[in-house]
Chain A
Amino acid sequence: MKCCRVVAPMWAAVKHPAYAGRALFVVQPLDEVGKDAGQSFVAIDNVQAGIGDKVIVLTEGNGVRQILAMGDQVPIRSIIVGIVDQVSTT
């Protein structure tokens, strides 16, 4: 999983049927102090995340298929699975 910040919502009318009715967000990976690290990407939302939230994003297809329980043919790779309250590093 990756710790990310939700950057922006995304709209797409024409999409694969597996994405129907699912919120899409652009998310930006963060480092341990909350600074941007790496390339932003697209994820669907599973936890009612909002813009600016720090979140945990699962980026592996088999886990996504387990969460969505839509069968085996789900072309989705990244899903927001948690909203981060606090990160502490020592």
Chain B
Amino acid sequence: MYLGIVKGTVVAERKAAGLEGTKILLVQPVDEHKKPVGDLQAAVDRVQAGVGDFVYLVGSREAALACDPWFVPVDAAIVGIVDGVGLP
């Protein structure tokens, strides 16, 4: 799993079977200091996140397992909204 910040919303009318009704957000992966790491990516939202939220995501096949139905072509899913990171 990894951290990210929601930067925007992606609207796609025509999607693969199983993705009907899913909300897709644009996410910038970040480290624990909210410093950007790597490139923006589109991720399915499973926790009603919004733009600006600090979230954590799960990638690869486990991203599809966060969805319902779970046999869907997805490789990143937002699975939690981070309230805080206890940095020393």
Contact = CB atoms under 8 A, between A and B. Distances in A.
Given A42-B1, A75-B66, A26 B46 contact: no
A8 interface: yes
A8 B83 contact: no
B76 to A, nearest CB: 11
Contacts of A18: 66, 79
15 contacts: A7-B87, A10-B56, A10-B85, A10-B86, A11-B85, A13-B81, A15-B79, A15-B81, A16-B66, A24-B80, A26-B32, A41-B3, A74-B65, A75-B65, A75-B79
Contacts of B63: 75
A14 B58 contact: no
Give the residue among A18, A24, A41, A64 with the most B Cβ atoms within 10 A: A41
Interface in B16-37: 31-32, 37
Given A42-B56, A75-B58, A12 B77 contact: no
A40 B84 contact: no
Contacts of B59: 77
B56 A61 contact: no
Interface residues of A, number: 29
Interface residues of B, number: 30
Interface string B45-78: 0111000000010111111011000100000010
Interface of A: 7-16, 18-19, 24, 26, 39-43, 51, 61, 64, 72-78
A61 B1 contact: no
A41 B47 contact: no
A23 B47 CA distance: 18
Nearest to B55: A12
